[in-house]
Amino acid sequence: MTPTAPKLRQVMAVLSVSANRLIRTDQLIDELWPERPPASAMTTLQTYVYKLRKLMLLGNPSAGPARETAVALTTRPSGYLLRLPDHAVDAGQFEELAHRGRTELAADRVDSAASVLRDALEVWRGPALTDVPAGPLLRSEIVRLEERRKSTLELRVAADLRLGRYHDLIGELTNLVAGEPTHEGFQGKLMLALHLAGRRSDALRVYQSARESLAGELGLEPSAELQRLQRRILDSDGTLESSFQRSSARAGAIEPPAQLPPKVSGLIGRDRPAGELHDLLCKRLPTGVPPVLVVTGPPGVGSSALCLQAAHQARESYPDGQFYAKLTAPGSGPVQVDDVLAAFLRGTGTSHHGLPDDLKERSGLFRSWTARRRVLVVLDDVVDTDQLAHLLPSGPDCATLVATRRRIHHPSVSRTVDLAPLDDADALALLVRELGSPRVRRQLADARRLAEFCGGLPLALRAAATVLRVRSHWPIAHLLRQEKPATWLGVAASVRTTCDLLPADVRATLRVLAPTATAPLTPVDAAALLGADAHAAESALECLVEHHLADVVPTDAGDFQYRIPPLVRLGLRDLGAPPLADGDPSVRKFA
């Protein structure tokens, strides 16, 4: 949603480029009416803010303090503050990537620097704030961003020159020089690219053209630096070539493995765990021990998506490679670890004939390769610690991200993130993003019931939204009246994959309990339903908790009971378990 009124766009732009910082009321008034503010300026500004809150769903300041992770436009005594998650504004993304690229270049990691700086420049889709009226504040910000863009572009070109990409740069730099003939940085780099590509006469002609442009437009001679470069080209200074020559070893190097699946779309309601993972991956102290971060949660909660997002955001901190493997195949169970290691090692340049046959030898070879590198390993759907032990990198600057359907414990695990379902507000926000605000607003009560019915599971919410987008004529209530909502909600397949990991006796226990356990139950209750002793029933229930197929519910007496979530029970029904009871609230229809 983008405001169409020019003044609304202007206010939103000022607040966005200053996200999470207070903007004083007088600054906004000067921005909107720089010459002569009207007498009603304060009232008009308040109206603009009200309209933005309503249009952009930016919260209501009278409802109390905004949640830490919320997107909200809050009123302060002297102005306004727009609270946004990290990376929500493209200017902020650009600044962070540009800074990271400079850091990589300063550390002489030229390959990584060129890649990160290129990513930073790709954030730009055109001139900054081109469709927004600009007053003093925004004009200053536009100039600042444009200068940052140019300096970042110069750094990226410098990195590409060091990597020997002379021929690739000539066309790009020729266009840049044509657009800005007095920019000596671009002129100098075009001269370098032409000279290093063996076109010395063309390089000297560029200098002459630059000299004419500077004299004609500014009445200046070329800078001392540009003149020195011309003299070195004239003198055929051999050190000029050698300083930019890429070593033969580097030219023949294998490209670092980049096995991550495509980026996932922005996640909702995951700012806190995402920030925690980012800090652990990118801002960790040098302990000498590579961190192993485990994300776990119930079927459909989005553990894999969170790990992928964190991996993509952190990948530039691991320039020697990113490995990815999915360790559970739907319908087939766990994959073979030696096959995963074979794929990892092939990514390092190891030929098929160079792969050891023995699992321990493959694992040792992978540890050796990672010992002095900065590598990120992402392991999705890990089943047990045996899989984990063979796939961990050994280098102190490496890291491992693990998504798992069950709680796992291993000495190497440094942090476990228990991912909970979305709360009501974030679940509704996800539906708004997927279906659009107008459709959700028209059916707000039904949208809230759908969010509640989905149990806060992003998989269920997105699957439901997909059906509603395809069947755009369906009211939300019509979806809720379907006979097999678990099929629509995409839960059944995820529940099946988790159930396949259970021991056979626990799987049988779940199929017996699911149709009848409509309320929390104790081990004694479960034993009565199963015809077993309470100890065996408790062991089975604890196994279900470990696999996130049952929840623990505290009681007022300080004890606890067990609950099988409604969507898990619905998923089991769709997989052919005994039918659920007629009065079961998890299969109720919404008229």
What per-residue confidence (pLDDT) applies to 576? 53
Helix orientation angle between 458-470 and 424-435, rounded to the nearest 10 degrees: 30
In this prediction, residue 575 carries a pLDDT of 55
SS3 73: strand
Amino acid 383: pLDDT: 86
Compute the half-sphere exposure of residue 86: CA atoms within 13 Å on the CB side of its CA: 15
> Greatest CA span in the chain, whole angstroms?
97
Nearest Cα to Cα of residue 453 among 476, 433, 436: 476
Q: If DSSP codes are grouped into helix, strand and coil, which group holds residue 74?
A: strand
Beta strand extents in 398-495 (DSSP E only): 399-404, 415-418
Report the 3 state secondary structure along 520-567.
CECHHHHHHHHCCCHHHHHHHHHHHHHCCCCEEEECCCCCEEEECCHH
d(CA 529, CA 578): 14
Task: Point out the residues of the chain with pLDDT beneath 50.
Answer: 62-69, 246-253, 577-591
Amino acid at 199: R
Token pair for residue 441? 């607003």
pLDDT at 544: 92
Q: pLDDT for 171-185, tens place per residue?
A: 999 999 998 899 999
